[in-house]
Amino acid sequence: MTRTLMAALATSALTALPAFAVEKAAVLDTYADIAEAAYGDSLTTAKRLQAAVQVLVQTPSPEALEAAKAAWKAARVPYQQTEAFRFGNVIVDEWEGKVNAWPLDEGLIDYVDLSYGGATDENEYAALNVIANPKFTLSGNEVDATEITPALIADTLNEADEVESNVARGYHAIEFLLWGQDLNGTEPGAGNRPWTDYAQGEACTNANCDRRGAYLLAATDLLVSDLEEMAGNWAEGGAARASVLADENAGLNTILTGMGSLSYGELAGERMKLGVLLNDPEEEQDCFSDNTYNSHFYDGMGIRNVYLGEYVRVDGSVVSGPSVSDLVAAADPAVDAGLRAALANTMDKLGQIKTTAESGFAYDQMLARGNAAGEALVLGAVDALVAQTRDIERAVSVLGLDQIAFEGSDSLDNPSAVFE
């Protein structure tokens, strides 16, 4: 018997199983196991980033800076795959801003180009530059920032004066400290911070290299501790795991809410369509490193992981089990096949963006006004994500779950409002 025929017979046997063959509780267990693994991998890669940052600060060199950048990019791979757990899981959604908030007014943290400007009506501290100022007044209070610590960043600087763009912590604050500003607009090139921004003595550029290093170390330590918190929430006995497992139908609603809200309002809308409408590279998520194409790709992969019940860990091992796909297939095989095809199409479109960016046509260049090729690539993925969301809605329906209001975006639902 050929391998192809055996596979076909196996598939036929699986589809012939009765609907009760896959238990909802087992599907929720798989979902929680994937979350635990993905946040665990995010923690592992953040610790590798932490080690690379320590080398950069202790023995700065061009090689050390490039190694830290590479570690940052590697850390984004598992983390982006966790974003499907954000929407619907209150514990995750309330925590997420600690690690992945953007965009940020980077002048709060460090020096910026003159073109950046200064304080604004919306943000008095947009150019505070805490690295250059060990003491300053914030919201009427005198702040002693002589020692830059994780506590200073978390409790005083982050969202200072209750302004969301005062992002002082997380992946994107670290990204800025490694790459610096991307001053190229929609032209080629990412941020180009010199390694000498971390050099000691007379080799130091742009002043305050010791404080810059202290900030980078503290921000990375804080990222690690934040990821330890979330990894623990998904471990056996963790609060996030317990919440999902407490009610089977509510748990399934949570899974599909995460899939649909990330697909539609967040990724297709706020992270992709909005940038095309505004032709603005500042709407690029990883705007300092030009790594946005990877972040989008792994967001898409995270959605697919959750539906198929399978996650490939950073060490190559696989976490898998009974899936939402199994439940949908038992209820309506055509709906399952449609959603699987939609997920594959989305990954193909996101893969085209990734391949094109890796060949030298950067994501922010794709957002340039009049760049028809770039617009076609981005909008092709947007259309695929929107279509995928419709298939997710069908899955909700065939499972007999409560209707879900997915996150929306003006860029999709009311584009004219974007320009008001």
Q: What are the residue boundaries of the structural domains of the chain, listed by start?
A: 3-104+167-398
Helix (H, G, I), strand (E, B) or coil at 399: coil
Type of residue at 100 = N
Q: DSSP per residue over 219-248, as a string?
A: HHHHHHHHHHHHHHHHSTT-HHHHHHHT-H
Cα(384)–Cα(255) distance, integer angstroms: 20
Token pair belonging to 212: 């810059």
What are the pLDDT tens digits along the chain (420 aa)?
333 333 343 444 444 444 447 899 999 999 999 999 999 999 999 999 999 999 999 999 999 999 999 999 999 999 999 999 999 899 999 999 999 999 999 999 999 999 888 889 899 999 999 999 999 999 999 999 999 999 999 999 999 999 999 999 999 999 999 999 988 877 888 899 999 999 999 999 999 999 999 999 999 999 999 999 999 999 999 999 999 999 999 999 999 999 999 999 999 999 999 999 999 888 888 999 999 999 999 999 999 999 999 999 999 999 999 999 999 999 999 999 999 999 999 999 999 999 999 999 999 999 999 999 999 999 999 999 999 999 999 999 999 999 999 999 999 999 999 998
Cα(279)–Cα(19) distance, integer angstroms: 48
Helix (H, G, I), strand (E, B) or coil at 312: strand
pLDDT at residue 187, as a whole number = 83
pLDDT at residue 208, as a whole number = 98
* pLDDT tens string 112-170: 999 888 889 899 999 999 999 999 999 999 999 999 999 999 999 999 999 999 999 99
pLDDT at residue 136, as a whole number = 95
The DSSP bridge partners found for residue 320 are: 310
pLDDT at residue 347, as a whole number = 99
Q: Which CATH fold topology does 3-104+167-398 show?
A: A middle domain of Talin 1 (1.20.1420)
* pLDDT tens string 296-336: 999 999 999 999 999 999 999 999 999 999 999 999 999 99
pLDDT at residue 12, as a whole number = 42
CB-based contact 81:305 (threshold 8 Å): yes
Q: DSSP per residue over 244-275, as a string?
A: HHT-HHHHHHHHHHHHHHIIIIIIIIIIIIHH
**Number of alpha helices (DSSP H) and beta strands (DSSP E) in the chain:** 16, 4
pLDDT at residue 282, as a whole number = 80
Q: Cα 332–404–247 angle (5° rounding)?
A: 80
CA distances, 111 to each of 53, 87, 181, 203 (Å): 19, 34, 9, 17
